Amino acid sequence: MDFFQPLWYFLTSNLSLGNLDFPFSILDLLLKVVLPFVGMILVYFTIQWLVKKSLSLSRLKKDVQKRIIHYLRLCLKILIIIGFLVTVGNLLGSRVNFYISRFLNILNSPFFVSGNTQISVITLLMLIPVFYLSAWSGKAARRLLERSIFDQLGMDDARKFSFGSITRYVVMALVFLFGLSVVGLDLSIFGVLLGVLGIGLGFGLQSIVSNFFAGLIIISTRPIKEGDRVLVNGYDGIVHNIRLISTDIKTFENENIIIPNSQFVDQPVHNYSYSDRKIVIVNTVQVSYSTDLEQVLVILESISKKNPYRINGPDNVVRVLSFDDSGISMSLRTMIRDVSLKALSHSWTNVEIWREFKKNAIEIPFPQMDVHVVSMPQEIPVEEENTPESEKPDSKKSEA
């Protein structure tokens, strides 16, 4: 009993923070705010589960079901926020305006002052919509130019990407600077930041700055663009996103590889689709020396003509490469219409080669080696003294 009295007093005493006294206790906070909030969360998940269950039994399309669930979640979250604010207002009672004003004064109190610049918690909170608005404005400006002006000018995809990316970052920078001035930050502080940046370049920012300017070079000179298939540092994949510092490449194993932009400028890059997306695939195969070579040439040419990914061109040829130890090496070169079909076309051609060779009884040799024995070593007689006593025939007779 002596233990519960101090605990009950602690739970029922009104809270205070410095000179600010609140008209509620911890118990009031738990019963009037925390408990209703937990109940609202449980109701949120229960309603969401019931709606998902009902939609799964309906005949609505998957897209319609996802849209319904999306708007349901949005409405429920708004109701939870409103309910939370109502419970907090009910807890504070008639002095809610007083506590709100005191809370705003605390948030608006500057914790950093430099010249005409005063930074408070509200200033930092206002930077969040500034960042969001600048990013959204850059993307919107790029989409607007690509859909209206660039299409009318007849620009190709590479130029659209270059001018669109430059426009995006310029608009982002302008909107961001304008937002900082609206928030109340003195833009002259950026002069100090540039000075600090200049000092930092001598220590640990060389790679970041190098990647930044490499990103500008990529955007302006267009050695790669989004959608290109590239091979860089052993990574083969599609350029998914080009940023100022790094580039995102998605491999054919669905892996995302983040590569610094400086590697695209300082090192050789194999771009399969730099000028156009047509490439030549090469399938190699060996046939035995006893095979009719003319028949093999005819079969490979027919396979090339049947390739569903092929386009006509001078590179569609069959060649005899070399006379190797195990057989004659042949190559079938086929030009296909798009680099994205490289793996499919290569696999299709290999399967057709196997089928046609099997149908026509053409042997695909495997590595082998003939060993010619000049002489065999003479049999070495086994000395009797080295033979165990139990294995000697005389010993068995004597025992018998």
Mean pLDDT by 10 residues, the chain (400 residues): 68 71 79 89 92 86 87 91 87 75 75 70 82 89 80 69 80 86 72 66 70 83 85 88 87 88 87 83 91 91 90 85 88 89 91 92 80 70 55 48
Q: What's the rounded Cα separation, in Å, for the pair 123 and 180?
A: 9
How many residues would you count in the chain? 400
Q: What's the CATH class of domain 206-271? A: mainly beta
Cβ 318 vs Cβ 371: under 8 Å:
no
- 318 in helix, strand or coil? strand
Which residues lie below 8 Å from residue 186, measured CB to CB, with a gap of 6+?
A: 114, 115, 116, 117
The pLDDT score that the predictor gives to residue 398 is 44
Distances (CA, A) of 369 to 188, 287, 364: 80, 16, 16
Residue-level pLDDT at 358: 92
For the residues of 365-391, what is the DSSP string, one character each?
-----------PPPPPPPPGGGS-GGG
* 11, two tokens: 């739970």
Look at residue 154 in the predicted model and tell me its pLDDT.
67
Q: Give the position of tokens 């540092």.
A: 233
Domain 279-359 fold is Alpha-Beta Plaits (3.30.70)
340 vs 252: CA distance, rounded Å: 10
CA distances to 2, 85, 244, 368 from 88, rounded to whole Å, are: 33, 5, 45, 84
Answer yes or no: are the C-beta atoms of 285 and 351 closer than 8 Å. Answer: no
Q: For position 400, what pLDDT does the model report? A: 39
3-state SS, 57-81, equals: HCCCCHHHHHHHHHHHHHHHHHHHH
What pLDDT, on the 0 to 100 scale, is given for residue 142? 85
pLDDT for 395: 47
The structural domains of the chain, with segments of one domain joined by +, span 4-108, 117-187, 206-271, 279-359
The pLDDT score that the predictor gives to residue 339 is: 85
Which helix (DSSP H) or strand (DSSP E) does residue 353 occupy?
helix 342-359
Which pLDDT score is estimated for 366?
A: 80
